Copies of this chain bind each other. A is one copy, B any other.
Amino acid sequence: MPAFSVMGEFEVIQRYFANSGRARKDTLIGVGDDGAVLQLREGYDLVVTTDTMVAGTHFFPDVDPRALGHKLVAVNISDLAAMGAEPAWLSLAMTLPKVEDPWLAAFADAFSETADYYDCQLVGGDTTRGPMTFTVVAKGQVPHGKMLTRRGAKVGDFIYVTGTLGDAGLGLRLCQGQVEVSKKHSAHILQRFHYPTARLAIGQALRTVASSAMDLSDGLYSDIQHLMHRSAVGASLDIERLPLSQALKDSCDRSTALALALSGGEDYELLFTVPESKKSMLDVLLSPYGVPVTCIGRITGAAGKLELRAGNEPFAYEHRGFEHFEK
């Protein structure tokens, strides 16, 4: 590609991202060549995920660069978690209108810190000039044949989610000035929106028990339909069982809380299914991680049909995907 004219592509990466994240022994060639050369563990397969964030669509143009740097890494690692993979390497393609030193330094710092936290090394990328856009490609490894996918859900399987739902959606609305949140809860809510945590250990632990898994990015209501589609099944969810944080319950009425939990998006929790025969193993298996896991429904044979219940009653819900960051 033609060079970035303000500062060379090479210089941008060298200056801000040199040795970003952990220096891994299995990185044979990192940043600075035509490509990276990476050595996979024997008996492991490669897992690759891609996520793009565009200013004005996925983040506010005046976002804290530290939050953005963190989130870009975390949401990609969340996809690896959903596949049961161990993260290893990241590539970063940045399109920037200009190179602003303090902004880029803070962004790179948070990006590198988060990469390091997840034991990942930045091994390449591209820097171009244009409207602000970031694409991260995360690469991980999974023992051959042991990956989790959206494909394996079977009729009768129990449906679970990690953590709580709707907090990040509330955090977004808080940033947009659409809602108010008490001082007691606002830090937690903003943390959940700006600094998601990838459920990495849980994803790896689920390899032996889950029949399918995915991460929640658009919101439970729309995400579960992808899983249903790939597995050719239906699902029945009990909305009374949706795990809601005290902060969410204290901050809005019940119907808003449920709408945020179902359609608010950006939860980056794991959604997964477990066959009845393995249900009892689950608590034992996940207890070391201290992350709550909640059963919210079951897989049905009504392919493509998503049924919502409130206990034993049908629950009428009109889903509308939130238009994130749009006017």
Contact = CB atoms under 8 A, between A and B. Distances in A.
Interface string A205-218: 00000000011011
A115 to B, nearest CB: 15
A38 B38 CA distance: 14
A30 to B, nearest CB: 10
A266 B326 contact: no
A186 interface: no
A217 B2 contact: yes
A50 interface: yes
Contacts of A55: 130
Interface residues of A, number: 76
A95 interface: yes
Copies of this protein in the assembly total 2
Nearest to A222: B3
Contacts of A10: 226
A109 interface: no
A266 B1 CA distance: 7
A53 interface: yes
Interface string A65-100: 000000000010001101101000101110100000
A236 interface: no
Interface of A: 1-3, 5, 10, 28-29, 32-40, 42, 45-58, 75, 79-80, 82-83, 85, 89, 91-93, 95, 123-126, 128-131, 133, 135, 137-140, 142, 144, 147, 149-151, 214-215, 217-218, 222, 226, 230, 265-266, 321-324, 326
